[in-house]
Amino acid sequence: MPKEEMVPDEKEKLQIEDTEKEDVKELIESGSNSDNDNDDDNEAPILEPDEVVLEPVPAETHKNAATLSDFAQLGPYLYLILIVIECSTLTSLSSMVYMVYAGYKPSLIPSCNLSQYNNFTSPNGCNLLGLYRNESTACRPSLSYQFYSVNVEFNMLCEDGKAVKNSITYQMVGVLIGAFVFGQISDMFGRKRVLIIVLLGISIFSLLTANVGNFVQFLMTRIAVGFFTGGLSAVQGVFLIENIPKRHRMWVNTIVTWSPNYIFFPLIAYLCYTWRKLSLFTSGISLLACILLAFTFESPRWMIQKGRISEARNAIAKIRKINGDTNEVDAAHIEEILADEEKMYANKHKSSGKKYTFYHIVCTKTYLIWTLTLCYGVISASLINYGLLFNIETLSGSLFWNSSLYGIVRWSTNCFVGSSDYFIPKFGRKTLHLVAVVFIVVAVITISILYTIGKAMLYLKFKLFKVQVDKMITISIFATSR
């Protein structure tokens, strides 16, 4: 057939197809407008009829699709969540920095004309203490301390005091194991259950810590506290993020966090004064967090991930009722999201019933690089943070004021980073992380250089002093022989 005779048929065919597409488009638009005339931003993309019948639309096509977090509101329930997280954060902080005060090293008060032996850091001071312990003498050196620590009560000074410092390592190993174990358990059995278990564990073993009779018992109970504290640190942040609206996460994570609590925690330690009372405080605040947590719901986000859509639906309905949210349009959107999640969960488990574990964060080259980069940053920051924290007693001045100033510096940095992330979108989390790591590296190198120079200068002074002494001895011997 000649080419000219096909042109009218093709034009007619194209006109019919365009008409059909316009009819489908108008039908979909009219349906969406009847539900919500003003919801233009969250309008679903237009789909071909065949696509709707074959399978659910992939998540990637919903670039502007709403999520459950978009419908969460500030209200009484969220305030309850914030109070719970604040109490659990204070619990975690109290447990982690406990040894800053419970392991505080006292100093030796000059007495009996022994003013040169004024601390236990010098060998002479420790030798003097050992002498008085082994011999009967009327002079007894007195101790000076700002906090009644384990060192003071169990008389663990000098060499014995190192055992108290070393015990921090065992407690931190407990924290590491607890974070690993309870993080995985929370993915399997829920955030709320795990939080209740770890908070009860901290409360019980902190109470036992306050009633131990010797240092070995103290160490065992503190390792147990560290184990449950690791679980608390791993799960409480996830529980918070899954329950608060996306638009409020930045300021919440800036206020309800360690740093502002660290500013006023020294006051709590000052009022407690003894390591036993401070452990009782940790037990009490942990129990309070556990009681308040009982009035909350399991994370709806976690329930959806586990395919428990009906339970998530009931929890969301009760949360909205507590918050006084009666917006029917929002309720309809939430129901649509839950229905989509249910379909996606069903399709995912038809194709693969895989359960994810820690292995999957290193199973590919990309994930391995991300994980190693994050771990390097966290380990570097933790070594410096806890290195400073557990040796803050070596600074001159008040232990409590120094701790508060340390918290102010930390919180100021947090606020700066949070503000930069919020107000300077181009800055980005990767840039922030890179700047922080570079700053740490430069600071550590600078300290290492100054320390090396200081040691070299000290060695040089010692050598010069030794030369002068040798000269004086030589001159004396020569003069005597003359």
User: pLDDT tens, 373-404?
Assistant: 778 777 777 777 787 888 887 777 888 998 88
Which of 313, 289, 172 is CA-nearest to residue 239? 289
pLDDT tens, residue by residue, 186-235: 888 889 999 999 999 999 999 999 999 999 999 999 999 999 999 998 89
- The CA distance from 169 to 49, in Å, is 63
Residue 40 has pLDDT above 60, yes or no: no
Structure tokens given for 428: 């980005």
- Burial label for 15, CB within 10 Å (0-12, 13-18, 19+), is exposed
pLDDT tens, residue by residue, 86-130: 999 999 999 999 999 998 888 766 555 544 444 544 555 566 665
- The CA distance from 447 to 440, in Å, is 11
Number of Cβ within 10 Å of residue 212's Cβ equals 18
Sequence-ordered list of residues with C-beta below 8 angstroms from that of 306, at least 6 positions apart, any chain: none
Confidence (pLDDT) at 351: 55
Mean pLDDT of the chain: 75
Confidence (pLDDT) at 468: 61
Q: How many CA atoms lie within 13 A of 463 on its CB side?
A: 6
Tell me the average pLDDT across 424-438: 76
Tell me the average pLDDT across 56-82: 62
Higher-scoring residue by pLDDT: 343, 260: 260
Higher-scoring residue by pLDDT: 451, 418: 451
Confidence (pLDDT) at 42: 43
What pTM was estimated for this model as a whole? 0.71
Q: For residue 428, give Cα distances in angstroms to 200, 370, 414.
A: 38, 16, 15
Confidence (pLDDT) at 39: 43
Sequence-ordered list of residues with C-beta below 8 angstroms from that of 468, at least 6 positions apart, any chain: none
Question: If you count them, how many residues does the chain have?
Answer: 482
Structural domains of the chain in order of their starting residue, each with its CATH number: 3-61 (no CATH), 68-106+149-355 (1.20.1250.20), 109-144 (no CATH)
Sequence-ordered list of residues with C-beta below 8 angstroms from that of 81, at least 6 positions apart, any chain: 240, 243, 244, 296
Confidence (pLDDT) at 482: 52
Structure tokens given for 188: 């399997």
Which of 210, 356, 333 is CA-nearest to residue 277? 210
- The CA distance from 93 to 384, in Å, is 17
Hunting for tokens 């100021």 — which residue is that?
412
Structure tokens given for 310: 């009906």
- The CA distance from 432 to 423, in Å, is 13
Residue 433 has pLDDT above 80, yes or no: no
Confidence (pLDDT) at 364: 83
Confidence (pLDDT) at 53: 40
pLDDT class for 32, splitting at 50, 70, 90? very low
Q: Is 167 helix (H, G, I), strand (E, B) or coil?
A: helix
Listed range (139-148, 151-160, 163-172, 367-376) with the worst mean pLDDT: 139-148
Residue 280 has pLDDT above 90, yes or no: yes
Higher-scoring residue by pLDDT: 337, 186: 186
Structure tokens given for 10: 């093709």
Listed range (181-195, 254-268, 343-357) with the worst mean pLDDT: 343-357
